[in-house]
Amino acid sequence: MARETLIADTATSRRLIGYLHGEHPKGTYMVVGLYRDGEEYWLTSAGRSDLCLPSTENIDDVKREAFRLYGLFRWVFQPI
């Protein structure tokens, strides 16, 4: 988890806002990083980076996106 906070995206102004810790449908533990870049939200996990839908406006919307993109459930949000 600490390694992900050190990732700097120099091409954008993404700012880490927190982590979602939860369970993947396969029963494994998963951590998803939540980033904000202006009005956009991004999710990252396991080297994958996904832009949330344009309708995403707040943390609750981001949590729904994490479920939609990764199947993440039984999550806990850890703000930075």
Question: Do β-strands 48-51 and 73-79 pair in parallel, antiparallel, or remain unpaired?
Answer: unpaired
Residue 26 CA to residue 40 CA, distance in Å, equals: 29
Q: pTM of the full predicted structure?
A: 0.78
Residue 20 CA to residue 1 CA, distance in Å, equals: 11
Give residue limits of the domains in the chain.
2-79
Confirm if 21 and 73 have CB atoms less than 8 A apart. Answer: no
The number of CA neighbours under 13 Å toward the Cβ of 8 is 1
Per-residue pLDDT of the chain (80 residues), as tens digits, is 444 444 444 456 899 999 999 998 888 999 999 999 999 999 999 889 999 999 999 989 998 999 999 998 888 999 98
| Angle formed at CA 10 by CA 29 and CA 22, multiple of 5 degrees | 10
